[in-house]
Structure 1
């Protein structure tokens, strides 16, 4: 079970990085009226919360 938790933690960390890059790209766009369909800060925050939970469980096991 610990291997699954560590793998999930790695995936969630990667998702948080991708969400951060997506938010950076959104803020630097040339056309401010162009809207996206992904709320990157929410995705990043939820992935960081889930990352903290899975890391806590992985260290406990």
Structure 2
């Protein structure tokens, strides 16, 4: 169960990284997005570290 959560969080972190890359490369710099991709990526990476730590502990 923890390994599945780790995989999901890893995928979320990669998707957030791609979203941030897409946001930085947009044509209209004044258009505002509603998702703060760096925060999503950081929280996913923290969750990934926690779940991997717990998975190895059990």
The Cα of 1:22 is off from its aligned counterpart by: 0.1
| Counterpart residue number, 2:49 | 52
The Cα of 1:45 is off from its aligned counterpart by: 0.1
TM-score, reference length from structure 1:
0.94
The Cα of 1:5 is off from its aligned counterpart by: 0.1
Aligned residues: 58
TM-score, reference length from structure 2:
0.99
Gaps of 5+ in 1: none
Structure 1 residue 33 corresponds to structure 2 residue 27: no
Structure 1 runs of 4+ with >2 Å offset: none
Q: Pairwise CA RMSD of aligned residues? A: 0.2
Gaps of 5+ in 2: none
The Cα of 1:48 is off from its aligned counterpart by: 0.1
